[in-house]
Amino acid sequence: MASLLLSTSPSHLYNISPRHRIPSLHSIPALKPFKRPNFSPVLSHPKLATHVVYHRTIAKSSSIGSRETEDPISDESPLGEDSAAFQLSAQKLSSWVYFTVILGSVLFALNVLWIDPSTGFGTAFVDSISSISGSPEVTMLFLMAIFATVHSGLASLRDPGEKLIGKRAFRVLFAGISLPLAMSTVVYFINHRYDGTQLWQIQTVPGLHELVWLSSFVSFFFLYPSTFNLLEVAAVDEPKMHLWETGIMRITRHPQMVGQVIWCLAHTLWIGNTVAISASVGLILHHLFGVWNGDRRLAIRYGKSFEVIKKRTSVIPFAAILDGRQELPTDYYKEFLRLPYVAITILTLGAYFAHPLMQSSSYNLHW
């Protein structure tokens, strides 16, 4: 029996025809290795790149707890928001009516509770700070330090504050405390900007006025990225912490700091005394702290997405562009041809021509 089994082919023993036989391993053709598809042409396409969705950390639960898996994020992926994007068709008339009402209410409350000497606390506050020292330079630094501490401190408490009282309520609290302090500092500077020791006087140098004016004009394009969404500033829309990536952010990741430095240098050059230097030192130090604090808060909120954007942007203007980490699109200028930048242009020109009115209003307060 054993010899019969050994000498009999499997097809004869089990009546399996040759075409139904299981092929041997040697006859199976080798499988080609799997090739990961290349999506770089899609990502580099200017119209398709902005429509690709990139996944962040995904939490998955299991019977033994939870774990986190991360999808890889390419350094070339568009992760941030398109800054200054504004669609007129998406606007609601009711939202802008609410904005106007809120703005009017805030200005009215600011006048009654802070500006008006007969009802407000502004005069008493400025007088108390001025009484610390007879020096306008010291008073200027004290006012700046108080504003910076409150402003940056509340910004650092934003996450727990929003969880405690809500996003809109925290924005109202933030603005309600910061706005009077900022106004006191600005008014004091206007009233005392020529009280310090004069270090140089070059206002008659030809072309200097134009240089200072142009520098101040450019500084406002850096200074006010928050105007990208005025409805959030007034808490009409729910306030958000944005991760901007386009527009002015390609030049510098911290445009407000850059704009403040430009403004301070221009006005210190024009005024040329110790009060101007005192104000500029306070403002620049406050915004330099804001660079560190802002990056820290964005890293906590956005994690790896922010780290990628941080790599391809810079704090120093144009640094990322010059060393190749940031590549400007061929139609980069279109990122500035948007309504928020038009609004900044109009407001900047208006502020320049309103200088005499601003100065006379400040003098009337006697702060």
The answer, yes or no, to whether residue 112 has pLDDT greater than 50, is: yes
Q: Between these two residues, 148 and 237, which has the higher pLDDT value?
A: 148
How many CB atoms lie under 10 A from the CB of residue 232? 17
Q: Between these two residues, 24 and 196, which has the higher pLDDT value?
A: 196
Instruction: Note whether 189 and 275 are within 8 A (CB).
Output: yes
CA-CA distance, 112 to 174, in Å (whole number)?
Answer: 19
CA-CA distance, 159 to 299, in Å (whole number)?
Answer: 13
Give residue-wise pLDDT tens across range 30-39: 545 545 555 4
Give residue-wise pLDDT tens across range 174-196: 999 999 999 999 999 999 999 99
Q: Between these two residues, 335 and 86, which has the higher pLDDT value?
A: 335
The answer, yes or no, to whether residue 65 has pLDDT greater than 70, is: no
190: Cβ–Cβ under 8 A, 6 or more apart, which residues?
358, 359, 362, 363
Instruction: Note whether 243 and 298 are within 8 A (CB).
Output: yes
Q: What is the pLDDT of residue 91?
A: 86
Q: Between these two residues, 279 and 72, which has the higher pLDDT value?
A: 279
Q: What is the pLDDT of residue 236?
A: 85
Give residue-wise pLDDT tens across range 287-313: 999 999 999 999 999 999 999 999 999
Residue 106, class by beta-carbon neighbours within 10 Å (0-12 exposed, 13-18 middle, 19+ buried)?
A: middle
152: Cβ–Cβ under 8 A, 6 or more apart, which residues?
286, 289, 290, 293
Give residue-wise pLDDT tens across range 317-357: 999 999 999 999 999 999 888 888 888 899 889 988 998 99
81: Cβ–Cβ under 8 A, 6 or more apart, which residues?
242, 243, 244, 245, 246
Instruction: Note whether 223 and 256 are within 8 A (CB).
Output: yes
CA-CA distance, 291 to 306, in Å (whole number)?
Answer: 14
pTM, two decimals, is: 0.76
- Name the pLDDT band for 78 (thresholds 50, 70, 90): low
Averaged pLDDT, 105-132: 94
β-partners of residue 206 are none
